[in-house]
Chain A
Amino acid sequence: MIDFGFKINPSSTLDLDKADLTLYNKLVRMEPEARMCMACGSCSATCMSAEYSGMSVRKVLLALQRGKDVSMMLSNCMLCGKCTMVCPRGINTRHLILSLCRIYDKEGLK
């Protein structure tokens, strides 16, 4: 790389027009409950694997809606079901995670 003495930072704006929502749309088709999240964060707070991988169902759902990759967060999920227990909207987060792991299969790791 030639050093021009300055660099251009990539824009930190989320451009929703350009976000790739394929994964989110697929998930919502399989798990319509995913739309019900009100981002309270109960799932993230109670999660056993959050401290290792930053797992948070809330963040996963948000990231998918912004077209981002979430595979890292899911990588330590132990499927213990605590997030499902505490969800005030009654979302079956446990199955949502399983479905997501399967969608990745068909899409290929992004």
Chain B
Amino acid sequence: MFQVIVNGLLIGGVYALIAVGLTMIHGVMKIVNFAQGDFLVIGLYLTYVYYTFLPDGALPYWLILPVAASMYLIGCIIFKASINRVIGAGDSNYILLTIGLSFVIQNTLQLVFGANFRSVPVSNELRFGSIEFLGTIFSVPRIIAFLAAAMFVVFVNWFLSNTDIGRAMRATSENRVVAESLGIRTSRVYVIAFALGAMFAGVSGLLLSPMFLVFPTLGATFGMVAMAAIVLGGLGNIKGALLGGLIIGLVESFISTYISVTLAQAGINLALMLVLILRPYGLLGVKRRTA
């Protein structure tokens, strides 16, 4: 029982990190990025490629800076080339655009790397490492991923409330026109927010690299989970994304253990539907006028 909760919370932490990136993008530009899961897969493949430059058996976590920087750059490019043009143009436009992007990313990866399953060749000590504590087994890569995710979330909170660009982002998310009139270059804020969102997805990819095999369509599940997490918590709310990620981790863990692995996805989506019906603005969301 305790083990089930631990497993759920640990994986939930990583879901939360993906969700934080997604909710950051939504908070600032009111766009839900349907390609977020594919950004995560780009991060995984970048880790896979960069890892070949490291000595055998090195920790993949050394790659966090190069992966984050590359993802930031990729985020900038994708935003400038496409997302830029659909901001404020209505929901269906960005939904379609990001779904289109998701096809492009998935299949470009498939063109480059093939459809085969690959794994980042980390040492077995890391991959299968575990710590036993109070009769509960903690898998080492999961703990590291959870702690790193927690650190990132704390960092984002600090960043949003204590830096100029963070304040500019919050201002833009509150009201673009007013922010603009106060001298904030909102177009730049958009680029930074989107690139940071891509970066978080990429870093989550890196953190997951010791646990998951890499293949081009891996992102679909994670994208859906992250979307469920931010809707559960309330769109555009960092704490909500964190809470949503953890809840989803728990739901998945409980259903996989006690009912069936097949139904885990169904359970997550059922929880999502229940929250949408009972609290349409999410657990921590603020009710807004619908008109």
Say if A and B assemble together. Answer: no
Residues of B within 8 A of A (CB): none
